[in-house]
Structure 1
């Protein structure tokens, strides 16, 4: 009996002392292309179909009509599509902001690069809003002293791009120096607090817009720009924005 135990312990010790080493020599993979040749699952397709049809119907439901095709490349310092977007932000956001705070929005600033598509002549749908604003950016209102607003204005003059603005009038001379700047027809007061509507993306410094901080306070409306445009489309019959004199450069 003692001999059997001794043999068992000896065998166990031998096994434990052995090292099983595994060396990885090669990894092989196979590329599987995803195409129409892959058969769809009938039961899954049947489950998804009513949801897909509902989404498609909602996206393509006609909300308004565009009297022309509008692109962000149509103007030098302001464009019809940019003017529409900035004005829509003011019109849809100001009542909400005023109800919450008792204050009114003084001006709006969006970014030229944030316009992601044209608005084609013809029917406008919710899909149009998703095309021009595919991001989940939300409207924020920033309380800024006039001295900070002037930083914003210098940024616009230096960039020389058609960043969408509303309620701000900016005129540059031939050399892109600031000739005139006013909000709602009045000169900008360094010590006055102005309420500037923009997107949360720009507020966080997107597109190099670092002038929003520090500030006097921020109000997030929890209102996506995309949804705002959809709400605005529902209220109008025909979209016909124009290039105007809100941001211009003097000619010779």
Structure 2
């Protein structure tokens, strides 16, 4: 009987000792540490990083080309010199890549006005310039679109009333924003045709409400960043001098 009492006592003690403790958070304390030049720097880390930093700075400041004027995305109503430059550069750099893989040509390019994040200043153009104009990691994709979806693209441009960069497309609208003429490579859009439209992955995914890219027949990812296309274009073009032209105009 004494043994049984012992085992009962041991069993109860074991149960209570295994019982989980419950903790409740009642207070969080913290303080803000302001990062200023008064903080002591770590000399070992600074010495380690210094050669890498100097190499990156040197690469970014490498002169690639020259701009004859200063160009801003606010310079035009429906097309701008800097936007025209970007769309044309994407076409020129991406089309050989696309053709080598598919045997086909890109029919037109459309980018977005908001992706131009800086002016192109008069003077030397460096690698840093390309990062300032296009800081995003967006890549070039080519979308296979039927003519009816290209018409939806045209409708988007007329309603957006912004200078979204385009290349190989010529669009003329009247004072009421109705289409007078829409040409791709000098020809009227044929709804029975298929067109290959270069853009970036952000817009293809519906960015800036460009929903006309879906549905589509096929998508080709060129694995080629727009910024890299600009850098490559700068490297092979000694002087950059884009203009506002008649690729998208309104007749009032």
The two structures share one fold, judged by TM-score above 0.5: yes
Q: Which residue matches 1:111? A: 112
- Rounded to whole Å, the distance in 2 between the matches of 1:172 and 1:162 is 13
Identify if the C-alpha distance between structure 1 residues 71 and 13 changes in structure 2 by more than 3 Å, giving closer, same or farther. Answer: same
SS at match of 2:213: coil
Which residue of structure 1 aligns with residue 55 of structure 2?
54
- Work out the CA distance in 2 between the residues paired with 1:198 and 1:22: 54
1:99 is matched with which residue?
100
Deviation at 1:163, TM superposition (A): 0.4
CA distance in 2, matches of 1:86, 1:172: 20
- With over 3 angstroms needed to count, the CA separation of the structure-2 counterparts of 1:107 and 1:23, relative to structure 1, is closer
Deviations 1:71-96 (A, max 9, x none): 00000000000000000000000011
- CA–CA separation in structure 2 for the residues paired with 1:207 and 1:184: 25
Structure 2 residue aligned with 1:178: 179
Where structure 2 has 5 or more consecutive residues not aligned to the other structure, the ranges are none
- What do residues 137-189 of structure 1 show as CA deviations (whole Å, max 9, x unaligned)? 00001111111101000100111110000000000011111000001111111
**Cα distance change of structure 1 residues 207 and 24 upon mapping to structure 2, 3 Å threshold:** closer
| CA shift in 2, pair 1:30/1:245, >3 Å | same
Q: Which residue of 1 aligns with 2:27?
A: 26
Task: Give the Cα separation in 1 of the matches to 2:22 and 2:209.
Answer: 55
Structure 1 residue 22: deviation in Å?
6.4
| Match of residue 243 from structure 1 | 244
Q: In structure 2, what is the equivalent of residue 136 of structure 1?
A: 137
Cα distance, 1:196 vs structure 2: 0.5
**In structure 1, what is the equivalent of residue 71 of structure 2?**
70
Shift, 1:15, TM fit: 11
Give 1:227's aligned residue: 228
The offset of 1:23, in angstroms, is 6.5
What is the number of equivalent residue pairs in this alignment? 249
| 1:57-111 deviation line (CA, Å, top 9, x unaligned) | 0011110111111000000000000000000000000011111000001100000
Task: State TM-score, norm by structure 1.
Answer: 0.92
CA distance in 2, matches of 1:33, 1:193: 57
Deviation (angstroms), 1:27: 3.0
Gaps of 5+ in 1: none
CA-CA distance at 1:28 after TM superposition: 2.3
| Runs of 4+ with deviation above 6 angstroms | 17-23
- Name the stretch that deviates more: 28-37 or 220-229: 28-37
Secondary structure, in 3 states, of the residue corresponding to 1:171? strand
